[in-house]
Chain A
Amino acid sequence: MGEVLVITSGKGGVGKTTTTANIGSSLAMLGKKVVVIDADIGLRNLDVVLGLENRIVYDIVDVVEGVCRLKQALIRDKRFEGLYLLPAAQTKEKTAISPEQMQKLCNELKEMYDYVLVDCPAGIEQGFKNAIAGANKAIVVTTPEISAVRDADRIIGLLEASELRNPSLIINRIRIDMVKKGDMMNIEDMTDILAIDLLGIVPDDEYIVISTNKGEPAVKDDASMAGRAFRNIARRIIGEDVPFMELDINEGFMARLAKLFGLNK
């Protein structure tokens, strides 16, 4: 029997959908059977990020309302063997499904798949309650901003209140150069406040923008730092012990040369 992981953050725009798409793809690359659910009804995005938008016929609301069978709504990703998407409805609202229905759906899916990843909408209202209803575990995504950390903290509190204890943390879009200059919150500041297990640190990476626009998860590209970080996260999820990535190595050749000659401060 599989596991249902909800990916949530509270604040919008911190990279929940990107994270879901990349972790889902990575898990599939590791040979797992994975389904990613877009729980952001009315503002669906996951299909776009995965490049599967043009294949949607049925969506999650159709499944819940019995318009189609669950299998009919699942879209198979041709690039990643074993990855499936259950898309959200774009023309409905969050209230179109209830937490009980979501729970039933997740239970059904985890019988068939190793991992069920739920992409949670921003906010703490009905959409959030739906998304977490069927989950066994939660992954909280934050960025190194005070507002994002504050919202993540609130979300952790709400998860704990819903019996989803010990969520794990992904810090997204960190820029080590800015952290070093003291212009960005450092990792310790965040783990101090949130006090939950760190699952991964994802560096800020231009390639994510490109990959999102192309609809191709960054994990496919070996050159992408973020892609590599997401692959590591996936390996940690399946229980491998992967050390945290050295984020300092992307210093250019010239910079290293300059350092060698003492030109850098």
Chain B
Amino acid sequence: MALKSSIEFKGTKDGLIIHLNEVSDFEYVREQLIKKLEMARNFFAGAKVAAIEGRSLTENEEKEIIDIINNRFGMVMVEKNNNSIEKEDIFKGLDEGHTKFLRWTLRSGSKIEFKGNVVVMGDVNPGAEIIAHGNIVVMGALRGVAHAGANGNTKAFVAAIKLQPTQLRIANYIARAPDRNYYKPEYPEIAFINEDMIIIEPYLTKNR
């Protein structure tokens, strides 16, 4: 087993990141970690550790590692706050924010992922996919899959001149085309979430 690659340290502005090898077994990795920290005990004492990465640890394994770095070597594990990170990530630029304009038709097999709003100046054909953190507007027929508010914004909408998607997703809500009664919309439509459901209604500028 290669000794060199089983443990790596990376310095970031938030603190050290300890990278553990995924291939070796846990016992070996733990021993190597202790050995490495032992070699530079003074250097590591008091250091902040931002994260442990590289392999998925069980709860017990993680506790063990944290115990080693905290108690045996006097390093400080920085608590990460998952909730605050997630909240920050939700796209907030629905009214004013990053927008991608695609000036062509998306054909089967193409996939667009964007951390903002997406406007397609063409059709989105069956087999094509758009995943946007914000709103999706299609200036043509939307026949493929569209996911607006993909990282959790339930206020996002999907609008199209012809809204006939294979599947429509907004945040974590999913709607799909009816199995029968294939219909052709004659007017622009808009889809949004209202009371825990995806609602599709004609897009009429008068009522807005």
Main secondary structure of the interface of B (DSSP, over half): loop
Give the bracket for the number of chain A residues in contact with chain B: 10 to 19
User: Of the 9-residue stretches A1-9, A146-154, A201-209, A237-245, which lies at the interface with chain B?
Assistant: A146-154
Pairwise interchain contact A150-B126, C-beta atoms closer than 8 A: yes
Chain A 127-150 interface 0/1 with B at a Cβ cutoff of 8 Å (1 = within) = 000000000000000000010001
Residues from chain B with Cβ under 8 Å of A154 in the complex? 107-109, 127
- Bound complex: CA A192 to CA B143 (Å): 11
Chain B residues near A150 (CB, 8 Å)? Answer: 108, 126-127
Residue in chain A with minimal CB distance to B123: A195
> Is A31 an interface residue, CB under 8 A from the partner?
no
Contact residue among A156, A158, A193 (Cβ-Cβ distance under 8 Å from B143): A193
Chain A residues near B105 (CB-CB < 8 A): 195
Q: Is residue A157 contacting chain B, with contact meaning CB distance below 8 A? A: yes
Distance A150 CA – B127 CA, assembled complex (angstroms) = 7
Q: Which A residues from 150 to 197 make CB contacts under 8 A with B?
A: 150-151, 153-154, 156-158, 160, 192-193, 195
C-alpha spacing A150/B108, complex, angstroms: 6
Bound Cα distance A154, B129 (Å) = 12
B126–A153 CB distance below 8 A? yes
What residues of A have a CB within 8 angstroms of the CB of B150 in the complex? none
Q: Are A153's CB and B107's CB within 8 A?
A: yes
Of A153, A160, A192, A195, which contacts B127 at CB under 8 A? Answer: A153
Most buried by A among B107, B125, B141, B143: B107
Query: Which partner residue on chain B sits nearest A152 by CB separation?
Result: B108
Chain A residues with Cβ below 8 Å from B141 are 192
In the docked arrangement, what's the CA distance between A80 and B121, Å?
Answer: 47
Cβ distance B85 to chain A, nearest Cβ, rounded Å? 36
Give bound CA distance, A160 to B109, whole Å. 13
**B172 part of interface (Cβ distance < 8 Å):** no
B109 and A193 form a contact (CB under 8 A): no
Q: Which residues of A contact B123 (CB under 8 A)?
A: 193, 195
Which residues of chain A have C-beta atoms less than 8 A from B143's C-beta?
193
Q: Residues of A with Cβ closer than 8 Å to B?
A: 146, 150-151, 153-154, 156-158, 160, 192-193, 195
A-B contact sample (4 more), CB < 8 A, given A151-B108, A153-B108: A146-B126, A150-B126, A153-B127, A157-B110
